[in-house]
Structure 1
Amino acid sequence: MRAAVFKGVNEPLQIEEVDEPEPADDEVVVETEACGVCRSDWHAWQGDWDWIGVMPTEGLIFGHEAAGTVVEVGDDVERLREGDRVTAPFNLSDGTCVHCRNGRGNICERMVPMGFLEMAPGGFAERFPVRAADQNAVKLPDEVDPVSVAGLGCRFATAYHGLAHRVDLTPGDWVAVHGCGGVGLSAVHIADALGANVVAVDIDDDALAKAEKLGAVETIPVTEVADVPQAVKGVTDGSRGVDISIDALGIAETCRNSVNSLGKGGQHLQIGLTTSEEEGEVSLPVDVMAMDERDFYGAFGMPPNRYDEIFRMMEYGSIDPGRIVAETIALEDVPETLTSLGTYDTVGIPVVTEF
């Protein structure tokens, strides 16, 4: 089968013929119909994240936002059949650890990141396997287009999990989103659907315009303000600060701006992961956080057992992940598209649909 293959840090991916995946007893093989090209792929491609154990080796197949149709089923798989349409979270869990048993498979103790390790090749290929399929493969409703849910493996689902399950968002809350890439725009759309007043923050006018279309009531162009947190506070009631603030990019500046945009009792949500500049470490105003009782939360994917919440909201038109999709591309376009993510020129999610 054809796949986009990793050749080394900062080396262009190569489209090659590779061996077809064969399902282990607990796995299914999925014929890929759509796969998002994510900034997380770009991070790994350029050599970020070795400090958290992500060290891609030559021959790896990236792609962790995939959806498609089951074409082979392992002997021990009980819940799935050939012909089922599925997606899967990028953080594949085993279904047996204490966190999995408590419904938090996204932080499984034996989690394997799809498309980042050789044992779990990803969706930049004609087919991909899903380990522990009864645990991880999420059946798609008949009416759901695979392109629309290509972001559910990572960006859209992470934003939803963070806003719906991690922080205490209530209708009427002020929510700031720092960084309006794929996950940031997803957060804008979801926060609006959940009844928040959303403030979108970015350096790019096109990204801010897209955020407005997705529900942002205020936008702040970073290049035009001297103090981002004060600008955010200025649009809230009495300049009190926002109730929830999200770092959707993962650099020191956006993380600190997010924390400093909060009012008393506010909640910071960290979705973006850092680059080699920070190596996972960001200094924060801990004294103010303590005195104001500002909370710091993280969100990492979403438990596979909770995807039905998103499907129900899609069914009744409350949210539409497809609105975040920027363009559809062919497998041959993946190397160039991946490289371009470093320039922040893409607004929304590029999705591979031709394999």
Structure 2
Amino acid sequence: MKAAVFQGIKDIRVEEVDDPQAGPEDVVVAVSVCGICGSDLHTYEHGSFVAPGQIMGHEFAGEVVEAGDEVSGLQVGDRVTASPLVPCGDCPRCLEGRYNLCASAWTTGLAYGRPGAFAERIRIPRSIPGENVFKLSDDMSDEQGATVEPLAVAVHAVRLAGDVEGSTALVLGLGTIGQQVLQVLRAYGARRVIGIDLSELRLRAAATLGADAVDGAAGIDAAVDAALGEGEEVDVVFECSGVPELARAALDTVKAGGTIVVLALYDDPLTFNPTALVQKEIRLQGSIAYTSDDFGEAVALLSSGRAQADPLITHRHALDDVAEAFETQMSKDRSLKVLVTPGAPPSS
């Protein structure tokens, strides 16, 4: 089969590789569509997270074409998406049910150790419906299925923030994760969601999804001042940009007693004075990936229409054009979510 293989910085090649085979507990999925994630760009630009020879891609949907004898609840023909995490199941975090914090969940996961979904087929080990494999309803497209994974990231982050109903929330950075965060905030009852970015394309998408989208060209302080009403405060900030200056600015922006949730990955170290955390009693919360429950909730939000996929998708490329797809995804002014289609065109 064909697969896109990472060979080094800005070097991803379509190669012929062996077809995956399902073991007794596994399913093999024919991939119809796979999105390019921000973490994929860190690999593409900097060589982070994976070694050369890795098949990347972890935001995907497709059809089960092979199921092992011991697999229950899944069969050939099912349309599915899946969590790329492959936790060990035995460490303290796994025993707590916090599989996203398992030390090996990513290093042995799909696209981060095991072959990923920029390929015509992918094997999902130990396939259990509702735990790591999630069926798509007939009213969900494959493209929607490919946006479940980043939506699950947002579900997890918003849940970590606590009760956001009636709050004023600020989202810094309106890439795919920022857009998904603002959708979950709206679904969970936030009174106002303010999104800040520099990209006109991303600001338009955020406005379509119900945010008060603000151009940050004049600086975050000016943007926040322009967005807030008299006496209004920011209850919670979601840092999705990966820009150190914005992460530091979040400390000044959030109200005393407020919460900052950091989802972004950073290429450069971040320095700040933690005295602000003490003096304002700010809760600084990191957020990584998701649990099975978060993943299931993301499917439900899309299926019910409380979250949308179409406003996020700006480009589609065939697998043979994966290098062009990555270059497109790197352009923040002209792309939001770029999809790669290894198989037949995704269903609509």
Structure 2 residue corresponding to 1:309, chosen from 293, 297, 308: 297
* Partner SS, residue 314 of structure 2: strand
1:263 paired to 2:255: yes
* Shift in Å, 1:342: 3.0
Question: How far apart are the structure 1 equivalents of 2:155 and 2:65?
Answer: 29
* Shift in Å, 1:96: 4.3
Mark the runs of 5 or more structure 2 residues left unpaired by the alignment.
344-348
1:48–1:347 CA distance, 2 compared to 1 (3 A): same
Deviations 1:296-332 (A, max 9, x none): 1122221123333233333432222343222322112
Structure 2 residue corresponding to 1:66, chosen from 52, 56, 60: 60
In 1, are the aligned partners of 2:35 and 2:339 still within 8 Å (CA)?
yes
In 2, are the aligned partners of 1:69 and 1:82 still within 8 Å (CA)?
yes
Corresponding position of 1:229: 221
In 2, are the aligned partners of 1:63 and 1:124 still within 8 Å (CA)?
yes
* Shift in Å, 1:216: 0.9
Mark the runs of 5 or more structure 1 residues left unpaired by the alignment.
none
1:323–1:93 CA distance, 2 compared to 1 (3 A): farther
* Partner SS, residue 175 of structure 1: strand
Corresponding position of 2:238: 246
Deviations 1:29-68 (A, max 9, x none): 111011111221111122353xxxx2322x2211110111
Identity %: 29
Letter in 2 for 1:3: A
Corresponding position of 1:45: 44
1:5–1:48 CA distance, 2 compared to 1 (3 A): closer
* Shift in Å, 1:184: 1.1
1:148 paired to 2:148: no
1:344 paired to 2:332: yes
1:306–1:343 CA distance, 2 compared to 1 (3 A): closer
Question: How far apart are the structure 1 equivalents of 2:154 and 2:147?
Answer: 10
1:207 paired to 2:202: yes
Letter in 1 for 2:318: A
Please, what TM-score do these two structures have when normalized by structure 2? 0.89
* Partner SS, residue 133 of structure 1: coil
Question: How far apart are the structure 1 equivalents of 2:232 and 2:273?
Answer: 18
Alignment of 1:5-154 (within 5 A): 5-11=5-11, 13-49=12-48, 54-57=49-52, 59-112=53-106, 114-117=109-112, 119-134=113-128, 135-153=131-149
Corresponding position of 2:4: 4
Shifted more, 35-44 versus 185-194: the winner is 185-194
Question: How far apart are the structure 2 equivalents of 1:209 and 1:235?
Answer: 16
1:191 paired to 2:185: yes
In 2, are the aligned partners of 1:62 and 1:122 still within 8 Å (CA)?
yes
Letter in 2 for 1:105: Y
* Shift in Å, 1:85: 2.0
How many residue pairs get matched?
A: 339
Corresponding position of 1:293: 281
* Partner SS, residue 94 of structure 2: helix
* Partner SS, residue 339 of structure 1: helix
Question: How far apart are the structure 1 equivalents of 2:342 and 2:38?
Answer: 20
* Shift in Å, 1:101: 4.0
Question: How far apart are the structure 2 equivalents of 1:283 and 1:239?
Answer: 30
Question: How far apart are the structure 2 equivalents of 1:344 and 1:195?
Answer: 29
1:90–1:284 CA distance, 2 compared to 1 (3 A): farther
Deviations 1:188-227 (A, max 9, x none): 222222222111111112211211111112x32221x2x4
Deviations 1:271-305 (A, max 9, x none): 11112xx1xx3112311111111111122221123
Question: How far apart are the structure 2 equivalents of 1:211 and 1:29?
Answer: 35
In 1, are the aligned partners of 2:119 and 2:342 still within 8 Å (CA)?
no
Deviations 1:87-130 (A, max 9, x none): 1123332444443343322222431354543x411111100111
Corresponding position of 1:272: 264
After TM superposition, where is structure 1 displaced by more than 6 Å over at least 4 residues in a row?
none
Pairwise CA RMSD: 2.2
In 2, are the aligned partners of 1:200 and 1:220 still within 8 Å (CA)?
yes
1:347–1:175 CA distance, 2 compared to 1 (3 A): farther
* Partner SS, residue 16 of structure 1: strand
Letter in 2 for 1:188: L
Please, what TM-score do these two structures have when normalized by structure 1? 0.87
Deviations 1:243-263 (A, max 9, x none): 111111212122112332201
Question: How far apart are the structure 2 equivalents of 1:98 and 1:74?
Answer: 29
1:237–1:32 CA distance, 2 compared to 1 (3 A): same
Question: How far apart are the structure 2 equivalents of 1:7 and 1:161?
Answer: 32
In 1, are the aligned partners of 2:208 and 2:311 still within 8 Å (CA)?
no
